[in-house]
Amino acid sequence: MTARLALPTGETVTPEDVFCYGGYPYRFRPLPGDEYAFALSPLYWGESDMDVPFPDEAALEARWEGSRGVLSDDEWRAWLADARDDERFGDDELDAIAVELGLADDSDAAPASPASLTDRVRDTLGL
C-alpha cells in the first residue's frame, strides 16, 4: 500500500508527488521509528540534513503558513521563472528541479508563463 500524507490544503500526496512547502518544491517520505512519522524532503537537496521531520500531520499544519501545496505545471513554470531571478538558487539546482518536475524540455523552448517576478515588476512600473 502506498503511503499517503494529507496536506493542510486538503490535498493528499504520495512520496512521488511534488508540492510547494515554504516556497520550495518538496516530496514527503515516511520515516521508520517512533520519533517522526514522516519528513519533507526538498526536491533538489532531498534525503540530506535539509529534510524536515514531523511527528504527525498536526505538526505539519502548525508549520504550513506560506505554503501552497500541489501546483499545476504552469504554476511550477512561474515558480522556476521567479527562482531564476533569486540569487538563493543556482542554475544547476533549478535545471535539476525542472527535470524532476518534467518541465525541462518546455523551459528551453518558450519563456515561462506568467513572466518572472522581475518582468512583472518592470511591466507594472512601465520600465
pLDDT digits (tens, 9 = 90+) for 84-102: 999 999 999 999 999 999 9
Sorted by where each begins, the domain ranges of the chain are 5-62, 73-125
What does the longest C-alpha to C-alpha distance in the chain come to?
Answer: 56
Q: Is the pLDDT of residue 127 over 70?
A: no
pTM across the whole model = 0.78
d(CA 92, CA 64): 27
